[in-house]
Chains A and B, each alone.
Chain A
Amino acid sequence: MATVRQEVTIINRYGLHARPAMQLVELANRFGSKIELSNGVLTVDAKSIMSVMRLAATQGTVLSLVADGQDAEKAVVAIKKLLDDGFGELDEQGT
């Protein structure tokens, strides 16, 4: 078992709104590890859409990503990549 921590930044203009939040939750659920996201005030289960939306993470928000389990390292790398890619909506003017 391993615990992996990583700071991640929300870079897309519209922040962690419903669609990216769902992408994140879907990705997190592919891993067996326990995965949590924290904004310093609130720590939420990254596998629950209802929890993740509570973060109201706007553009520029730095979140702390913590994974705990066999595939923690892989989970953190994958989730960080999704956020660094701006959930694939960096070129979008938004919807």
Chain B
Amino acid sequence: MKLSDIMVNDAIIPELKARTRDDAIRELVEALASAEAIPKKSVPEVIKAVLAREAQATTGIGKGVALPHAKLKGITSPVGTIGRSSEGIDFAALDAKPVYSVILLLSSPDNPDEHLQAMEAIFKHVQRDIFRKFLRQSETRESIVELIQEADELG
């Protein structure tokens, strides 16, 4: 699975308005709905599920990246988006540092293997210093989309 197969380009937010974790999650879920990747009416339920998961353990994995996610009925294949914050957001991350790149992933509860593959596609890129650095520096939606495509091509 490639990152570009999962990410909804029209829902990518190059500069999050949100200054808090919960608002960032809300903004990204709403962007997915605006891009018609998820039904508008599902927005409250999706936000609730992602926040509930976050309450169990932070998805702020360190190095400025957080991966809020949830498994939800109604999601057929993994779908996600990216939000960038130049100021940084407190996700209570493992390294206690602010988060500059928020990657939201929604997947089906009936296909755990596919969820793991989607996560792998994300981590494959995110573990690279250069990818995190470029993502943090990308100021437009187009440059983030391009970055994802280039990273996928490199494999």
Q: With A17-B115, A95-B52 in contact, do A56 and B61 touch (Cβ < 8 Å)?
A: no
- Name A32-48 residues within 8 Å CB distance of B: 48
- Name B97-132 residues within 8 Å CB distance of A: 109, 112-113, 115-117, 119-120, 122-124, 126-127
- Name B13-43 residues within 8 Å CB distance of A: none
Q: With A49-B94, A95-B52, A95-B70 in contact, do A58 and B112 touch (Cβ < 8 Å)?
A: yes
Neighbour of A18 across the interface among B119, B124, B126, CB < 8 A: B119
Is A54 interfacial (CB 8 A cutoff)? yes
- Residue among A19, A56, A58 having the largest count of chain B Cβ atoms under 10 Å: A56
Closest to A44 in B: B127
Q: Which residues of B contact A59 (CB under 8 A)?
A: 112-113
Cβ of A56 and Cβ of B120 under 8 Å apart?
yes
- In this complex, how many residues of chain B approach chain A with their Cβ under 8 Å: the count is 26
With the chains together, A56 CA to B52 CA distance in Å?
23
With the chains together, A64 CA to B62 CA distance in Å?
26
Is B57 interfacial (CB 8 A cutoff)? yes
- Distance in Å from the Cβ of A55 to the closest Cβ of chain B? 8
Closest to A13 in B: B112
With the chains together, A13 CA to B94 CA distance in Å?
25
With the chains together, A15 CA to B113 CA distance in Å?
7
- In this complex, how many residues of chain A approach chain B with their Cβ under 8 Å: the count is 21
Cβ of A51 and Cβ of B127 under 8 Å apart?
yes
Is B84 interfacial (CB 8 A cutoff)? no
Q: With A56-B117, A56-B119 in contact, do A49 and B61 touch (Cβ < 8 Å)?
A: yes
Q: Which residues of B contact A16 (CB under 8 A)?
A: 116
Is A27 interfacial (CB 8 A cutoff)? no
Q: Which residues of A contact B122 (CB under 8 A)?
A: 53
Q: Which residues of A contact B61 (CB under 8 A)?
A: 18, 22, 49-50
**Chain A interface (Cβ < 8 Å from any Cβ of B):** 13-19, 22, 48-51, 53-59, 94-95
The 3 closest A-B pairs by CB, nearest first: A56-B120, A50-B127, A53-B123
**Chain B interface (Cβ < 8 Å from any Cβ of A):** 52-53, 56-57, 59, 61-63, 67, 69-71, 94, 109, 112-113, 115-117, 119-120, 122-124, 126-127
